[in-house]
A and B are shown apart, each in its own frame.
Chain A
Amino acid sequence: MEIFTLWLWPLLALILLPGLLVYFGLHVVERGIIFVDLALAQIAALGVCVAVALGAHPGHDALPWVLSLVFTLLGAGLFAWTRFRHPRVPQESIIGIIYVVSAAAATLVLSHSAEGDEALKNLLVGNVLLVTRAEVLRTFALFVGIAAVHVMLRRRFMMLSFDEDEARRRGISLRTWDFLFYATFGLTVTSFVQITGVYLVFSYLIVPAVCGALLSARIRTRLAIGWVVALAAGISGLALSVKLESADLPTGPTIVCCFGVALVVCAILMRLRKGSDPYLRSEGTTGRESRP
Chain B
Amino acid sequence: MITLLLALKVVATTPEYGAVAAAIGGDQVKVTNLAKATEDPHFVDAKPSHIVALSKADILIEGGADLEVGWLPPLVEGARNAKINAGGPGRVRASEGIQLLDIPAALDRSLGDLHAAGNPHFMMDPANAKVVADHLCDVFCRLDAASCPAYKANRDAFAAKLQAKVDEWAKALAPFKGKPIVTYHPTWRYFAARFGLVSEVYLEPKPGIPPSPPHLAEVMQKMKEQHIGLVLVEPFQSRKTAEAVAERTGARVVDVCQFPGGLSGTEGDYVGLLDADVKAIASALAAAK
Contacts and interface: CB of A to CB of B under 8 A. Distances in A.
Interface of A: 2, 5-7, 55, 111-118, 121-122, 125, 127, 129-130, 132, 241-242, 245, 248-251
Contacts of A249: 47-48
Contacts, number: 76
Contact of B48 (A117, A125, A248): A248
B47 A250 contact: yes
Contacts of A7: 48
Interface string B17-51: 00000000000000000000000001101111101
20 contacts: A6-B51, A111-B209, A112-B209, A114-B113, A114-B114, A115-B208, A116-B209, A118-B42, A118-B70, A127-B45, A130-B74, A130-B75, A132-B74, A248-B47, A248-B48, A249-B47, A250-B45, A250-B47, A251-B47, A251-B48
B55 A6 contact: yes
- Name the 10 nearest CB pairs between A and B, nearest first: A114-B112, A114-B208, A130-B74, A248-B49, A114-B114, A242-B48, A127-B46, A118-B70, A129-B46, A250-B47
Interface stretch (B77-85, B125-133, B139-147): B77-85
A115 B112 contact: yes
Contacts of B210: 111
Interface string B191-209: 0000000000000001111
Q: Is the interface of A mostly helix, strand, loop or mixed?
A: loop
A130 B48 contact: no
Interface in B46-89: 46-49, 51-52, 55, 70, 74-75, 77-80
Contacts of A113: 109, 112, 209
A114 B78 contact: no
Nearest to B42: A118
A129 B47 contact: yes
Contacts of A115: 109, 112-114, 208
A132 B77 contact: yes
B206 A114 contact: yes
Nearest to A107: B210
Contacts of A245: 48-49, 52
A61 to B, nearest CB: 12
Contact of A5 (B43, B80, B113, B212): B80
Nearest to B110: A112
A126 B246 CA distance: 37
A83 B25 CA distance: 65
A6 B80 contact: yes
B116 to A, nearest CB: 11
A117 B208 contact: yes
A130 B210 CA distance: 27
Nearest to B212: A111
A249 B52 CA distance: 13
Contacts of A125: 45
A241 B48 contact: yes
Nearest to B45: A250
